[in-house]
Structure 1
Amino acid sequence: MPSHRVHQVAGDIICRFSSEDIDELIDRGGGHDAGRMNCRKLLVQATRVYGKYGESGLCYYILHHYLDKLASIIKGRFYRILMQYRHLPVEERFKYYQQEVRRGLLDEVSTLSYLVDGSTIGSYSETSSTFREYSGSIVERYMMYKEYVNKGYSKKTAKKKAEASLDVASSCEDAFTYIYEEIEEPIDMSILIKLTRDVRSALLTNIEKIICIMLTIDDKYWLDWFGEDYYGKIADAFNCSNQQ
């Protein structure tokens, strides 16, 4: 995962704010990155952060989760580049790396993706008016599976992503329903959803700069992970030599 220094520099760019307290909350507050896969934890932590730091703090909280996921995507799409584009010379493969990372960020499965894209989950049912009546149904799982296959994922990966998406959606629906039993005044969902959309949009807009910051500040980690030759190719793919 990115160092706290990476989070802080990226936070200053995207949110004009950074906080070691928020970094510690996410990384050590009841399980590393728990809020990204557990909606109850997300709502509890987001309520706490918003109450103490306002929208700037909430922006930073959301961004931290996205940066952690981005680091995983960078590694995962590295193997995709090597395998899916293996018919191309190695030098040519990395021309597609940036679009693959962007795609991975848009297709990631988490509580954040549910907040941004949740309205599309459940749109596959033609017979039910509420999420609960058909969540996890065979038809819905099959339609989500087909959507991922059509995006170019293998059948195995598409199945895993479809199941994970619906599991997250189901847990979020439960959390949104029962959170008032745990928190007297939970965060306004419209604020959380809007900021999540804004942060993802800003991250996609600044994707080259942010990834180059990650590669530069945490260079030892990435050099060890990729090896010197591939590290250089990835830095070139994101035009790091021209990033300020």
Structure 2
Amino acid sequence: MRNDLFLKSDVAKNLYDAVRDLPIVDYHCHLSPKEILEDREFPDIAQIWLGGDHYKWRLMRACGVPEALITGGAEPREKFRAWAACLETAMGNPLYVWSHMELSMFFGIEDTLTAESADDIFDRANAYIKEHHLSPRKLMLQSHVELVATTDDPADSLEYHKEIAKEKNFPVRVVPSFRTDAALNICRANYRDYALHLGEVCGFSVETLDDLKAALSKRLDFFCENGCRVSDIGIEGFPKEDKSCDAAETFKKALKGKTIPENEFRN
């Protein structure tokens, strides 16, 4: 299996050889701690590639693929076919490089993935998965992973991280990261429900902006106690600089389920 599939010059190959055996310390990933704990054998390559990769989903949506073939209930083969057709449009994009690199490194497949070759590659990859019993932990160990920081909501119990941490025979450290999107996106339709849940987890009601700050501070302490050292956030919009807006009052509106005027939360 080639690890230098897209490296053409001697300089590039020498640089890669210098670092290829170093362990992976991944401070941001979307791996599921539940799946890592359970370590079940993957059913097919569609689950590995498309089960939770929002970068692939983004390309598929940009190509006009129906959601049923992205995150919906379509058959795995149909989803893989749709992905292969989209990948043909992405030459030069990292997704194109990553996909073919992974086919080579993890499945021994060096053919170009296209709509025409999709079925053959799907079957060959699945046969490899079955023969080698590929699972989340096996792939992590094969990749020399030393640490991964998963993406976790402040209200998460971190129960799977706790169980993984107890295991002595799995050398990979799996730690949480503090992802505050849901806590800060006060314009989401069910924000009030989220605030209620966060309060239940913290043991006090979240009714004011100060309450939210206290809740997040408490949860951050809990996350740090369980190995968290990094935070992450995806910000959809930034508040306008408008002195007439009062953050505390805007937060109260959100808790009452009121629509937040555009000039109060984004450009």
For Structure 1 versus Structure 2, the TM-score category normalised by the shorter chain is under 0.3
The higher relative CO (CA closer than 8 Å, separation ≥ 6) is in 1
Q: TM-score, normalised on structure 2? A: 0.22
Higher Rg = 2
Bigger proportion of residues as strand:
2
Q: TM-score, normalised on structure 1? A: 0.24
